[in-house]
Amino acid sequence: MKKSILVLTAVTGLLFASCQNFKKGEGGLEYKFHKDNGGEKAIGGDVLAMDIIVETDRDSVLLSTYDLGLPQIAPIMPDSMMQGGYAGDNNTILKMLGEGDSATFKLNLDTMAAKTGQPKPEFADKYIQFTIKVKKLFKKGDLTDSVLFDQVNQYYLAEMEGLKKAEEGKISSYVEKNKLQPKKTASGLQYVISTEGAGANPVVGDTVVLNYTGALTNGKVFDTNIEESAKKHNKLNPMRPYEPLRVRVGHTPVITGWTEGLQLLKKGSKATFIIPSALGYGERQQNNDIPPYAPLVFDVEVLDIIAGPKGETPQVTPSPLEMPTGSN
């Protein structure tokens, strides 16, 4: 009995301590530092490069820079330039941070609505939570804006170069982890046909009817036309019809990897495409889902191939920056 009382007391103490972890700030802001590096904090005019996870109080992740592999660049607005700002807002959060700091903040939505006159967002109830780790603090000081933002730009380009150099390793790791033995085309497209279909391969002008799921090499799904898959991976868009996609080869604007890959498949085929960024979106980030220099993995199933008109015009090379499908 005595041991049980001690255990219960210890658990109660831990729960109490957990509740006390967050401190109260102005405007209903709550915050908890995981690491205070003790350095200079950001002020108006400075710029932060930070990793950030944005979540709602419904346990829904709105944004994570860790998925993109790139930090978010956040300028801190001087008080003289703030319109509609208030104590406890986003700018308040940024000015509490310095290089090397990490902390979690809960932005009070009732305060935000009262101070800004804007309605609370529908995707959260009481707060939006920001977990931030500051990678770099750029001090404005006496620097001109052009000099400051040149420093920021050089830093960001270096981060981009890191992603570019990491791409080949991401592809190799994905292939090894999934025990694949893909074939590779001259362009760099890799593919595995798990189910071989029948009939002729599609050519330019033919329409391929298919289902697909697209993901990064870390397994994070960014798009699918299959409703069950969209629900499973929290990508369901109620405004979108979930039905087979129709791609007219050489005419529908899809990424180059798709134009090449679809011509390798017969009706009934199931396959996985591993598409390097040179055949995808290159250095361009796509929303918050696809980072620059991202190799992409598509699982596709060809449901039908509809022959195109005779005497088709030559193939139109699609832009590698086009979305491959009716993406969200």
Whole-Å CA distances, 96 to 87, 120, 141, 178: 12, 24, 18, 43
Instruction: Give the angle subtended at the CA of 68 by the CAs of 45 and 134, to the nearest 5°.
Output: 35
Is 212 tagged catalytic?
yes
CB neighbour class for 268 (10 Å; exposed up to 12, middle 13-18, buried from 19): middle
What letter does residue 274 receive in the DSSP assignment? E
Question: Of the residues 128, 132, 171, 255, which is catalytic?
Answer: 255
**Looking up tokens 């401190």, which residue turns up?**
23
**Token pair of 226 as six digits:** 């299959």
Task: Determine whether 255 is an active site residue.
Answer: yes
DSSP code of residue 325: S
Structure tokens, 112: 């935000």
CA distance 298 to 217: 10
The residue annotated as part of the active site, out of 46, 223, 289, 299, is 223
A 10 A CB-CB count for 228 gives 10
Inter-residue contact 71 to 65 (CB < 8 Å) = yes
Active-site residue, from 138, 191, 281, 293: 281
Integer Cα distance of 254 and 296 in angstroms:
13
57/271 Cα distance (integer angstroms): 39
Instruction: Please indicate whether residue 281 is annotated as part of the active site.
Output: yes
Q: Which of 212, 289, 290, 299 is catalytic?
A: 212
User: What values do phi and psi take at 125, rounded to 5?
Assistant: -110, -65
The active-site residue, picked from 105, 127, 130, 298, is: 298
- Which position among 222, 290, 299, 305 bears the catalytic label? 222
Between CA 256 and CA 281 the distance in angstroms is 9
Active site residue 86: no
**C-alpha to C-alpha distances, 257 to 189, 245, 252, 262, nearest whole angstrom:** 7, 16, 13, 8
Q: How many CB atoms lie within 10 A of CB 194?
A: 11
Residues involved in catalysis? 212, 222-223, 255, 281, 298
